[in-house]
Amino acid sequence: MLGRALGAIEQGFRFVMLILMVKRNISNTTWQDRFDHQKTILFVENDFSSPGTKLQVIKFRPNGGIKPHYHRVRTEAFYILAGEGKIMLDGEMMNCVPGDYILCKPGIVHAFTNTGQEDFIIEVFRTNDPGDSDMLWADM
């Protein structure tokens, strides 16, 4: 009897854990056209239980990119998933390949350029993100 009760409790615990965990596959997401790139949002602040937090993937076609811009409050961490490109951070141009991580704090002007023949794909983790109002184009 006790064994059945414990088994039922364990199954209930696993069910609750499934509700608390979220799994998504990038092949099942919708890509949105944006400026000169595409993006797909994997997780939003409700998934993280953390206001202003978002995980997305951006994709640049060959010769594509995003012009220099900055954010007043948003912090972004970039992880290069595929392709080759350059990321400009505070005037310094960096060649980027899969496996590279880059941290961009508020106020730092940054830009992206795909320099390869394949898509340049970057995972972007954002914190303190108030949305599009915090994307400011830099005069360069």
pLDDT tens digits for range 7-22: 555 555 454 445 567 7
CB atoms within 10 A of CB 131: 9
Residue 42 contacts residue 93 (beta carbons within 8 Å):
no
Domain positions in the chain are: 24-137
What tens digit of pLDDT does each residue of 78-131 get? 999 999 999 999 999 999 999 999 999 999 999 999 999 999 999 999 999 999
- How many helices and strands (H and E) does the chain possess? 2, 11
Report the percentage of the chain scoring pLDDT > 90. Answer: 72
> Considering the entire predicted model, what is its pTM?
0.83
Would you identify the CATH topology of the domain 24-137? Jelly Rolls (2.60.120)
What are the tens digits of pLDDT across the range 43-59? 999 998 899 999 999 99
Residue 112, strand partner residues: 66, 87
Q: For residues 58-70, b (16+ Cβ closer than 10 Å) or e, as one string?
A: bbbeeebbbeebb
